[in-house]
Amino acid sequence: MDLDGFLSNATEEAAWLREPGIDCLVRLGPRLILGERHAAVLDIAHVKAARPGGGAFGRFLDKADAAPGVSGIYVEHVVHDRFARWLERNGFRVVLDDRRPSLFRRSRP
């Protein structure tokens, strides 16, 4: 299933998505972040890139930002420092840091 299929299927709470160059485990739902409730956050729990650094995840984020109904993107428990720094350079901020940071950004209009 791809992102469009996941977002159009109201019965799925979580799914493994396959997008060009990446597979990722996602959930969609409300989330409380730093005391603020967000209605429809796309949680990304796991990402596997065919070629890390090849741009597939950035293209996926662009698609998620443009998706109707997604109010933000949350990447949980980032293991690799290089990836965490890339997320911060691309508008994410650390919202939870317990050995492995989790980062959030609002969807871009």
Quick: pLDDT tens for 78-104: 998 999 999 999 999 999 877 788 989
Among residues of the chain, what percentage have pLDDT more than 90?
Answer: 75
Q: How far is CA 92 from the centre of its chain?
A: 10
Give the start-end residues of each E strand in the chain: 14-19, 22-33, 36-49, 72-75, 93-98, 100-106
pLDDT the model gives residue 106: 87
pLDDT the model gives residue 69: 85
Which residues, in sequence order, are bridge partners of residue 101? 97
Q: Could you give all domains of the chain from N- to C-terminal order, each with its CATH number?
A: 3-106 (3.40.630.30)
pTM of the model: 0.91
